[in-house]
Amino acid sequence: MNALSWPTWVIHISSIVEWVLAIWLIWRYSEVSGEQSWRWLAWGMFPALVGAMAVVTWHYFDNIPQLEFLGLVQALMTVLGNTTLAIAAIAIYREAHPKKL
């Protein structure tokens, strides 16, 4: 656990907590507003959360070589997450502007 300083750990952990909270709030907004496309955004955020958790796990175990694959998992989840977020943005736009696309 010595791979990162305490302030860096605080930032990493608080970012994960904030991301979980954002996913939950977006999901609730979808329920309250009835705009189902916002659920796509919540699901679209999930790969980025998985990637963040993977790299934090690797850091927790002092970046040992046996867990180096978690860096690759993080990178792949970032690409997947960016793609799913773009798809979610399109879905939200289409729901809000059905005649434009």
> In this predicted model, what pLDDT tens digit does every residue of 39-68 receive, in sequence order?
999 999 999 999 999 999 999 999 999 999
Residues in Cβ contact with 92 at an 8 Å cutoff, skipping those fewer than 6 apart: 35, 37, 38, 40, 41
pLDDT of the residue at 94 = 93
Round to whole Å and give the CA distance between 80 and 72.
12
Quick one: pLDDT band at residue 101, thresholds 50, 70, 90? low
Give the global pTM: 0.86
Residues of the chain above pLDDT 90, percent? 90
Round to whole Å and give the CA distance between 14 and 16.
5
Per-residue tokens: 40: 């796509």
3-class state of residue 89 by DSSP: helix
Round to whole Å and give the CA distance between 84 and 94.
15
Per-residue tokens: 29: 């907004």
Round to whole Å and give the CA distance between 101 and 62.
49
